[in-house]
Structures are given as structure tokens and as C-alpha cells.
């Protein structure tokens, strides 16, 4: 297949490109390099451009052969930042995606896999979140993704644009060969922050955001899913659209919840050291518990996550952070 990966210089996008390439597909990356890295684009050409600039998208489609599949990762994705800068989140995530969709319709492209998020669910009232749960986001990031999910329904009805939204729970880990990995500036995610605190000899001491949540140990519980398992779901989702006509959504997680303190303890086993931390105030917009029920993705897509143990996931991230190449 000829695949366009928007946001292919980023964390999830670059792992996607490696998987596509190793499976024999051709990849073109489109990225504005705002958070992505030129060095992470290793499996196909990089077109530097912005989904907010309509001319950039027009040129992209004008200069390439037809794409068999389009995978769209370009987004602003920090919950806390979205609370402070909702304008940027709605503009980039909603308006930028509309620009892409309109270009797709104009150029006769009808297959999209879209990065959505567990944040569309807000603070769910059930332990395991399946696709029947109401989408009630509690921050502008989640709201921006929910709006795009709804737009995709309408674009299918009006224009026949087929799509799969994949709602990631907590993406983590790295390529086991350590060619690519997670690198955000500033880093806000738990596992890289734990490992960076270890590598800094506790100079960048880990902060645990909140210990009075209604959970067993008072810290937030999340469902950590390996980046390569997410990537494989995108490929399966693209294949799903060959035989299914519609706008679909699937939740992607391992189905097990780990508290922040559980993750720290698993990381201690991986690195072989005790990890110090300070308890800080809870972050704005963080729900207490988010754990997926991914039964539908398993059944419909035939998806089976390979990394089921949190320590194995952390070990791949540790392999990357000890020797970051960019
Ligand atoms: N967290 C933390 N310290 C950090 C980073 C994150 O305590 O340095 C907590 C955060 O409050 C949340 C969980 O770890 O409860 C996962 O946060 P992350 O940013 O990795 O992912 P999110 O769930 O926000 O997408």
C-alpha cells in the first residue's frame, strides 16, 4: 500500500511508519515538526507542512500518487495545556482536521484512520470503558477529539469517507530496537518522567500529581498500552475499511489498570533501583481511573496486543531512554 502518515515524525507516527515499512508498504510523512523530530522519519520521505495551511495540503496531494490509506496523527495532545489554551486545541485539532478531510474529499481519498483518545470519555462511571459508554469529555483536548469523531460520522454520510477512530488509552514504551522512542519537549508523561528521573540521578526528581483520588492508593489509574500494539491496530483498522463501509470507533488498551505508584514500583524492578518522588497537587483535567474494554477491537479487527506486562513495556522505554538517538 501507499500510505500517507500525517504526524509521522511524532512518537506514535514514527512507530507506525516503521511497522508499515517492515510490512512492505510505502510511506510518505507529512509533519510540521512542531513536536515531531526530523530524525524520527526514517522509512519514507518527509514533507514539512502544516494541516492549518490549506496550500500545504493541496501541494501534498497534488505532488503524490493516490494514497491507499491515510493515517492522521497530527494533534496537540496535552490535557493540561488544552485547559489553558483551548483556542490552539480547537484550531489545530478540529480546523486542521477539517482542512485534511476537505482535501481528501476533493482528491477522491476515502480511507482514514484517526487518532482519538480515551479523553473523549471524561470521567466514566464504569470500571472498564467500552464503546457504549457516553462520551463526556472534561477537557478541551478530549472535546476536540470528540468533535472530530462526530465530524467523521457526517463525512461518511455526506461524502462516503470511511474512517476508523482509535481511542488510545496510555500510549507508552518504545521500539524494542531503540531506533525511535518517546521524546517530548517538555516531557509530561509518566513513564518517560520516571526514567528521566532515574537517569538524572534524581536531579529531576519525579513528581506524583495527586494522592487523594478515589483509588486504592490515592493515585490515578491508567491503562498502559505499548506503542507497537497501537501501531498494529492502525494497520488492521486500515484493512478493516477495505471490507466495511462506515465511520467506526474502537477503544485500545490492555484492559488492566495501574496506579502511578504501581508504575513506579514496576519501573524500580526494571531499572534495579529505588525511585524517589514528591507528591504534588493533582493536575487539572485528570480523571481518576481510565481502563479500556477493548473487546470490540479484538473481535472486529482481530487485534491482539503483544505487550501485556507493564514491566516489559517499561523495559522497552528504558532501552530507548538510556541511549536516546535524537
Ligand atoms: N503523572 C505523574 N507524574 C508525571 C507525569 C504523570 O504523576 O510526571 C500522572 C498523571 O497525573 C496521570 C498519570 O501519571 O495520573 C498518567 O499521566 P500521563 O501524562 O502519562 O498520561 P495521561 O493519562 O495524562 O494521558
| Burial of residue 266, with CB atoms counted within 10 A of its CB: 0-12 exposed, 13-18 middle, 19 or more buried | buried
Q: How many CB atoms lie within 10 A of CB 64?
A: 15
The pLDDT of residue 325 is above 90: no
| pLDDT tens digits, one per residue of 88-103 | 999 999 999 999 999 9
pLDDT at res. 99? 98
Average pLDDT over residues 205-232: 98
Give me the half-sphere count of Cα atoms (radius 13 Å) on the Cβ side of residue 178.
Answer: 12
Q: Which residue has the cell 457526517?
A: 154
What sign does the CA torsion over 216, 81, 86, 148 have? negative
Q: Are 41 and 325 in contact (CB under 8 A)?
A: no
Q: How far is the CA of 207 from the centre of ligand 1 (A)?
A: 9
If pLDDT is split at 50, 70 and 90, which confidence band does 224 have? very high
CATH 3.40.50.720 maps onto the chain at: 2-172+223-252
pLDDT at res. 4? 98
pLDDT at res. 56? 98
Which member of 89, 141, 168, 213 is catalytic? 141
DSSP for residue 254: -
Question: DSSP readout, 66-109?
Answer: PPSEEEE------HHHHHH-HHHHIIIIIIHHHHHHHHHHHHT-
Does the domain spanning 2-172+223-252 belong to CATH 3.40.50.720? yes
Of 147-156, 189-198, 278-287, minimum mean pLDDT range: 278-287
Question: How far is residue 258 CA from its own chain's centroid?
Answer: 18
Mean residue pLDDT of the chain comes to 97
Residue 260 to residues 13, 36, 197, 208: CA-CA distances in angstroms? 26, 26, 15, 7
Residue 24 to residues 4, 42, 67, 177: CA-CA distances in angstroms? 14, 14, 15, 18
Q: How far is the CA of 282 from the centre of ligand 1 (A)?
A: 10
The pLDDT of residue 162 is above 90: yes
The pLDDT of residue 191 is above 80: yes
pLDDT at res. 77? 95
| pLDDT tens digits, one per residue of 24-65 | 999 999 999 999 999 999 999 999 999 999 999 999 999 998
Give the strand order in the sheet containing 221-222.
258-259, 221-222, 289-290
pLDDT at res. 202? 74
Residues touching ligand 1 (Cβ under 6 Å) are 79, 170, 188-190, 193, 207-209, 220, 222, 260, 283, 286
Question: How far is residue 196 CA from its own chain's centroid?
Answer: 21
**173 Rama sector, left if φ>0, alpha if ψ -120 to 50, beta otherwise:** left
Residue to mutate, 116, 187, 192, 209, ligand 1, most ligand atoms under 8 Å from C-beta: 209
pLDDT at res. 52? 98
How far apart are alpha carbons 161 and 183 in whole angstroms? 33
The pLDDT of residue 2 is above 80: yes
| Percent of the chain residues past pLDDT 90, beyond the cut | 94
Superfamily of segment(s) 190-222+255-321? UDP-galactose 4-epimerase, domain 1 (3.90.25.10)
Residue 30 to residues 3, 43, 275: CA-CA distances in angstroms? 11, 12, 39
CATH 3.90.25.10 maps onto the chain at: 190-222+255-321
Residue 118 CA: nearest ligand 1 atom is 25
| Percent of the chain residues past pLDDT 70, beyond the cut | 100
Average pLDDT over residues 73-78: 96
pLDDT at res. 285? 82
pLDDT at res. 324? 85
C-alpha cell at 162: 470511511
141 is known as an active-site residue: yes
pLDDT at res. 302? 98
pLDDT at res. 326? 86
pLDDT at res. 254? 97
Angle between helix axes 96-107 and 140-159 (nearest 10 degrees) is: 20
Of 16-25, 95-104, 176-185, minimum mean pLDDT range: 176-185
Amino acid at each position: 500500500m501507499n500510505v500517507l502518515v500525517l504526524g509521522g515524525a511524532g512518537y506514535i507516527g514514527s512507530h507506525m511508519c516503521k511497522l508499515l515499512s517492515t510490512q512492505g508498504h510505502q510511506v510518505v510523512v507529512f509533519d510540521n515538526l512542531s513536536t515531531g523530530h526530523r530524525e524520527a522519519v526514517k522509512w519514507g520521505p518527509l514533507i514539512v507542512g502544516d494541516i492549518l495551511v490549506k496550500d500545504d495540503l493541496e501541494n501534498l496531494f497534488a505532488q503524490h500518487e493516490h494514497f491507499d490509506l491515510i493515517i492522521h496523527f497530527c494533534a496537540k495532545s496535552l490535557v493540561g495545556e488544552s485547559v489553558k489554551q483551548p483556542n490552539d486545541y480547537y484550531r489545530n485539532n478540529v480546523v486542521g482536521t477539517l482542512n485534511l478531510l476537505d482535501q481528501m474529499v476533493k482528491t477522491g481519498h476515502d480511507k482514514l484512520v484517526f487518532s482519538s483518545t480515551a479523553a473523549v470519555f471524561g470521567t466514566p462511571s464504569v470500571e472498564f470503558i467500552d464503546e457504549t459508554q457516553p462520551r463526556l469529555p472534561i477537557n478541551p483536548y478530549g472535546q476536540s477529539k470528540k468533535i472530530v469523531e462526530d465530524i467523521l460520522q457526517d463525512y461518511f454520510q455526506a461524502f462516503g469517507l470511511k474512517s476508523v477512530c482509535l481511542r488510545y488509552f496510555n500510549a507508552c514504551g518504545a521500539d524494542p530496537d531503540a531506533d525511535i522512542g518517546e521524546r517530548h519537549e517538555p516531557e509530561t508523561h509518566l513513564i518517560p518522567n520516571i526514567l528521566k528521573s532515574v537517569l538524572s540521578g534524581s536531579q529531576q526528581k519525579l513528581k506524583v500529581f495527586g494522592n487523594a483520588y478515589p483509588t486504592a492508593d490515592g493515585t490515578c489509574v491508567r491503562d498502559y498500552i505499548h506503542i507497537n500494539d497501537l501501531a498494529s491496530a492502525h494497520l488492521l483498522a486500515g484493512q478493516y475499511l477495505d471490507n466495511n463501509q462506515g465511520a467506526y470507533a474502537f477503544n485500545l488498551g490492555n484492559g488492566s489498570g495501574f496506579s502511578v505508584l504501581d508504575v513506579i514500583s514496576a519501573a524500580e524492578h526494571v531499572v534495579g533501583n529505588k525511585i524517589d518522588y514528591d507528591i504534588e497537587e493533582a493536575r487539572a483535567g485528570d480523571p481518576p481511573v481510565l481502563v479500556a474494554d477493548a473487546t470490540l477491537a479484538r473481535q472486529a479487527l482481530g487485534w491482539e496486543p503483544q505487550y501485556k506486562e507493564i514491566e516489559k513495556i517499561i523495559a522497552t522505554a528504558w532501552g530507548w531512554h538510556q541511549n536516546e538517538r535524537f
